[in-house]
Amino acid sequence: MVNVEEKHTRREFLKFSALGLSAVAAVPSLVAGETHSTMSVYEGYKKSRVGSLAQLKKAGEIDFSYPDGNALCKAVYVNNEVKAYSIICTHKGCPTVYNKEKALFECPCHFTKYDAKKDGQMVIGHATGRLPRVLLEISGDDIFAIGVDGLIFGRINNNVG
Ligand code: FES
């Protein structure tokens, strides 16, 4: 049996909890009203040559590192388009393997698959996001990496270069 004083306390607790939750819920809308960008595109890295367009069309894929030697990436030629991604799985950081026939980046650790044709979108698996996309510039037969759209897993200096 609950006495009146205890009931009152519970009611007050619930009332103040509801007020607290309302206040917390209001904070994101205030933050959203600010001018912060929520995009994770980073174009401040040094421009770096990936390879030649002719080489990519012939091989279907080119391995490279970007924005530095510790960041493994792959350029692929799918649906007559040049695309490039960090190959590091966004789930827990294993390097994915590119399945050229299916145009999928497949993670051997927990089997997440990413679609190379659809900007690295996650198709199935444990990851919650797509692969980071390497922004490219094509000049004549040369392919250059000029930025990254997304955060590379485990990289503590994603926005430093
Ligand atoms: Fe790739 Fe877990 S690390 S699915």
Residue of minimum CA distance from atom 4 in ligand 1: 110
- Asked if CATH classification 1.10.630.10 holds for the domain at 48-149, the reply, yes or no, is no
Distance of CA 130 from the midpoint of ligand 1 (Å): 12
What pLDDT, on a 0 to 100 scale, did the predictor assign at position 161? 57
For the CA of 93, the closest atom of ligand 1 is: 3
36's tokens = 């912060």
pLDDT per residue as tens digits for the range 82-96: 999 999 999 999 999
pLDDT tens digits for 40-76?
777 778 999 999 999 999 999 999 999 999 999 999 9
- Report domain extents, the chain: 1-36, 48-149
**pLDDT value of residue 54:** 98
Q: At a CB cut-off of 8 Å and minimum separation 6, what does 110 contact?
A: 91, 92, 94, 125, 126
pLDDT at 14: 44
148 Cα: distance to centroid of ligand 1 (angstroms)? 20
Burial 111-125 (b: 16+ CB within 10 A, else e): ebbbbbeeebebbeb
110 classed as catalytic: yes
pLDDT given at position 5 = 53
Contact 96, 87 (CB under 8 A): yes
Residue 6: strand, helix, or coil: helix
- For residue 89, give the ligand 1 atom closest to its CA: 1
Confidence bin at 120 (pLDDT 50/70/90)? very high
Q: Report which ligand 1 atom has the smallest distance to the Cα of 94.
A: 3
Burial 33-65 (b: 16+ CB within 10 A, else e): eeeeeeeeebeebeebebbebeebeeeebbebe
Spatial CA neighbour of 116 closest among 129, 106, 128, 125: 106
Q: Is 36 a catalytic residue?
A: no
- Count the alpha carbons within 13 Å of 51 in the hemisphere toward its beta carbon: 22
- As a whole number, mean pLDDT of residues 13-21 equals 44
